[in-house]
Structure 1
Amino acid sequence: MAKKVVILGAGYAGLVCALKLNKLATTQDAEIILVNKHDYHQLITQLHEPAVGAKKQEDITISLNSILGSKPIKFIKDTVVSINKEAQTVELEHSTLSYDYLVVALGSDTEFFGIPGLKEYSFTMKSVNQANRIREHIEKCFQNYNKEKRDSMLTFVVGGAGFSGIELVGELADKLPELTAKYNVPKDKVKIYSVEAAPSIMPGFDPELVEFSKKSLEDRGVKFLIGMPVVQVEPGVVHLKNGDTINTDTMIWTGGVRGVKQVIDAGFETEPRGRAKLDEHLRALGHTNVWIIGDASFYLNPEGRPYPPTAQISVQMGDLAADNIYASIKHLKLESFEPHLYGAVASLGRKVAVANLSPKFKPKGWVAYRIKDASKWRYLSTIGALFKK
């Protein structure tokens, strides 16, 4: 009798897991059910582009029906409410599912680090819908500036200078001149701040690439406040640890991830930020039939540091989880997670990027931008979505 495999989430990890398991298992082996709250797959690594209007929503979303096609994967559009690991059931908003094997790939929530007012008075950028809200808000700031003449309307603060934060300020720096011309707004009134608590931006990147990135962005008007934690956010005001304040109508927070409520509430073993601890096969600790993959998980590399929540790690987790679920069904030996890291590429706006690919290969500028673009096309090929919408 076919085992019921329920996969929660159709992001990078969940979708790759469903597609790979479908290739490995026959319908006699496994009944694959994929649950997602939207009927589309989002290219989360591209969110900085629609957030400033550089791309449209349809440019970074792909219909799940077009990807799944006639494959024997049952897709359910619904929201996951809770997981009962003892009963082996998942409560959705509109139904309840039972499972033999469960894959939790629900992504992550934003970590606000307990900073007063940050959650209430900042934008976050973890979905296409959130990116659309940022774009609409920025457009309105320019649209209304000549009526209201408040400088805070043209002051944009991005909290966090990791991947997401740097890619966003790069897109902003390239888009704002276009908006100043469109709405006849003085260019010298526009200010972009990148605020980072750590002593450096872009952790994990080579110092020379960090310096190149910083100079490229500064040349386009970005002001960096490094080693400067945000300590409070109020309507229209961001407070910094040194006592300075920034008057702004736009605070966008990109500074960290934490585990999702459904995993925490289900009682899986988690680290302090609520991400699930895993065994070497990517299963939740103490559970032989539950895999938790992607940003919802916490897995240490050989040096004892957690792997970063990146798309390439999520894709490889999805791939291995499918292999190990199939091995479990067939009573075969399970594989350990040993990801191959391809390096990191960060966009600095249109046609400029930096890439940390190897000790001897660290391209920057247009070449790195083409590499980032190629990685997107390679991924689309992996999920069979090269020419689909």
Structure 2
Amino acid sequence: MKQHMGADILILGAGIGGYEAFRVLSPLLKKKHSGRHITIIDKNNYFTFVPMLHEAATGSIEPTHCAIPLRALVAGTPHTFFKAGVEKIYPEKKTVKTTRGTFSYNICIIALGSTTNFFNTPGAKEYSEHVRTLDGAMRLKHQFIHTLETCGNEPVSINIVGGGYTGVEVAGQYADLAKKDLKKLYPSKQLDIRIFQSGNNILPHMSKKIQHKVCQRLEQQGVTITTNIHVTKVKKKTIELNDDTTVNSDITIWTAGFETLGDTYMNTGTNERGRINVTENLHMIDYPDTYAIGDIANSVDQKTNVSYPQLAELAYHEGRYVATRISRIVQKKKTSPFRFHSKGQLMPVGDWYGVAQIGPFILFGKLAWWIRRTVYVLFMPGVLRKIRIVFDWTIHSFGVRDVISVDTANIDERI
């Protein structure tokens, strides 16, 4: 039976933005003896560090090492976690309808993220995999290992739709896996790895220099890159392109983009892309007690009047800002508007090669790869998770990737 429950400070979604908002706000409220209470609602009972999921999908790290139980996050605090899906948000009423009932709130932080955008491509949702969620990464890992174990002597065809950050990272991981691990574990197997990019170049938001170097690296690793091409249909074992060709595809990985669902959750306050419009203080324009952060929020650079890019780095800083702002409001102190300046971009292209763009400086190779790993470990919440990930990386460097796969389909059916 669904109930109506009251919440003081309500956080919807425990991705990078929502998780960081709670992690910063909880000790601030405790320090000020405010007596305020936080309720977190998420459809999963764990936080996922999404930037590492491509490594989990390809066996570099244990998938569960990318996740932290939300129960552990609230343990030892006066705060609460509810496992529930958000159905509708009513900022004018200060209420949220969920699968477990309706919550009223005093302050709300909407951090519901985004979902994979298949652009209405027939068959894409049914027959392609993604690495945006933990279960998606685990499903991709299972399918890849299952294909290796059951295919014949033909090369395993892996087609990656989309040549952005995720597509390049996934391609780099599979290319290294083919050169190192497959020779030891599956000596008779080969991979045919392809990237299909709709635009003129892969990594369209990065400089020409980076595009050229990364393209060169991937091609040296055996990855085929096709640009100015659209996937028009995905089937179980093939994909169709807009030049009327059909390509064999044992595994199709969709990394072509994502969409926000703000207009699904709300009847007001969103733009044409489904992002929630917010002020420079990150609250909704007409509702100062309802904040939106991360991918779902349309936060704008006040100097350029251009929306900030939907990056994990942005969600992290927005979560910290909103937490600090709420704490200062509780104390009746003044706050400053949100400003974002990206520290740069870090991207691995397989093992021992990376790209680091830090301000005007661009690094390639082992140093960039090492910087990226160091930064990501530091950002990963939880000391034990950091240790486990470093241990996974160490084992992988001196051994082979994890190729154990457990099919959870029957478990899901019983549930």
Normalized against structure 1, the TM-score is what?
Answer: 0.90
1:11–1:106 CA contact under 8 A, matched in 2: yes
User: What is the aligned counterpart of 2:83 among 62, 77, 82?
Assistant: 77
Deviation at 1:272, TM superposition (A): 2.3
Aligned mates of 2:33, 2:377 — CA distance in 1 = 30
Deviation at 1:205, TM superposition (A): 2.2
Structure 1 SS opposite 2:350: coil
Q: Using a 3 Å threshold, how does the CA distance of structure 1 residues 265 and 293 change in structure 2: closer, same or farther?
A: same
Structure 2 SS opposite 1:194: strand
Q: Using a 3 Å threshold, how does the CA distance of structure 1 residues 36 and 265 change in structure 2: closer, same or farther?
A: closer
Deviation at 1:251, TM superposition (A): 1.1
Amino acid at match of 1:339: F
Deviation at 1:250, TM superposition (A): 1.3
Aligned mates of 1:305, 1:162 — CA distance in 2 = 21
Deviation at 1:280, TM superposition (A): 0.8
Aligned mates of 1:353, 1:44 — CA distance in 2 = 18
2:12–2:18 CA contact under 8 A, matched in 1: yes
Deviation at 1:50, TM superposition (A): 1.1
Deviation at 1:171, TM superposition (A): 0.7
Matched, 1:386 2:383: yes
Aligned mates of 1:269, 1:198 — CA distance in 2 = 31
- Aligned residue runs from structure 1 range 205-284, under 5 A: 205-260=206-261, 264-284=264-284
Aligned mates of 1:121, 1:138 — CA distance in 2 = 13
Structure 1 SS opposite 2:123: coil
Aligned mates of 2:306, 2:340 — CA distance in 1 = 14
1:4–1:101 CA contact under 8 A, matched in 2: yes
- Aligned residue runs from structure 1 range 292-303, under 5 A: 292-301=292-301, 302-303=303-304
Aligned mates of 1:344, 1:3 — CA distance in 2 = 37
Aligned mates of 2:66, 2:238 — CA distance in 1 = 32
Amino acid at match of 2:116: T
User: What is the aligned counterpart of 1:169 among 165, 171, 179?
Assistant: 171
2:185 aligned partner: 182
User: What is the aligned counterpart of 2:21 among 17, 20, 30?
Assistant: 17
Aligned mates of 2:306, 2:65 — CA distance in 1 = 35
2:372 aligned partner: 372
User: What is the aligned counterpart of 2:141 among 112, 118, 135?
Assistant: 135
- Gap runs ≥5 in structure 1: none
Aligned mates of 1:77, 1:3 — CA distance in 2 = 15
Structure 2 SS opposite 1:205: coil
Aligned mates of 2:105, 2:33 — CA distance in 1 = 15
Query: C-alpha offsets along residues 13-44 of structure 1, whole Å, 9 cap, x if unaligned?
Result: 00111122223224535211112222322110
1:41 aligned partner: 47
Amino acid at match of 2:11: I
Structure 1 SS opposite 2:11: strand
Aligned mates of 2:54, 2:229 — CA distance in 1 = 23
Aligned mates of 2:79, 2:296 — CA distance in 1 = 23
Deviation at 1:207, TM superposition (A): 2.1
Deviation at 1:271, TM superposition (A): 2.4
Matched, 1:101 2:107: yes
Aligned mates of 1:82, 1:176 — CA distance in 2 = 45
Query: C-alpha offsets along residues 304-337 of structure 1, whole Å, 9 cap, x if unaligned?
Result: 4332222110110001111222344344433212
2:163–2:196 CA contact under 8 A, matched in 1: yes
Structure 1 SS opposite 2:288: coil
Query: C-alpha offsets along residues 191-232 of structure 1, whole Å, 9 cap, x if unaligned?
Result: 111111111111332322222211111111100011212222
Aligned mates of 1:186, 1:77 — CA distance in 2 = 42
Deviation at 1:52, TM superposition (A): 1.4
2:92–2:287 CA contact under 8 A, matched in 1: no
Amino acid at match of 2:13: G
Q: Using a 3 Å threshold, how does the CA distance of structure 1 residues 67 and 350 change in structure 2: closer, same or farther?
A: farther
2:282–2:291 CA contact under 8 A, matched in 1: yes
Aligned mates of 1:172, 1:273 — CA distance in 2 = 33
Q: What is the CA RMSD across the aligned residues, in angstroms? A: 2.2
Q: Using a 3 Å threshold, how does the CA distance of structure 1 residues 228 and 36 change in structure 2: closer, same or farther?
A: same
Deviation at 1:168, TM superposition (A): 0.7
Amino acid at match of 2:162: G
2:60 aligned partner: 54
Aligned mates of 1:275, 1:288 — CA distance in 2 = 17
Deviation at 1:184, TM superposition (A): 4.0
Aligned mates of 2:251, 2:296 — CA distance in 1 = 28
- Gap runs ≥5 in structure 2: 1-5, 389-415
Matched, 1:323 2:320: no
Aligned mates of 1:330, 1:238 — CA distance in 2 = 57
2:9–2:39 CA contact under 8 A, matched in 1: yes
Q: Select between 90-99 and 281-290 the one with higher mean Cα deviation.
A: 90-99
Normalized against structure 2, the TM-score is what?
Answer: 0.85
Aligned mates of 1:181, 1:167 — CA distance in 2 = 22
Aligned mates of 1:320, 1:235 — CA distance in 2 = 45
Amino acid at match of 2:241: L
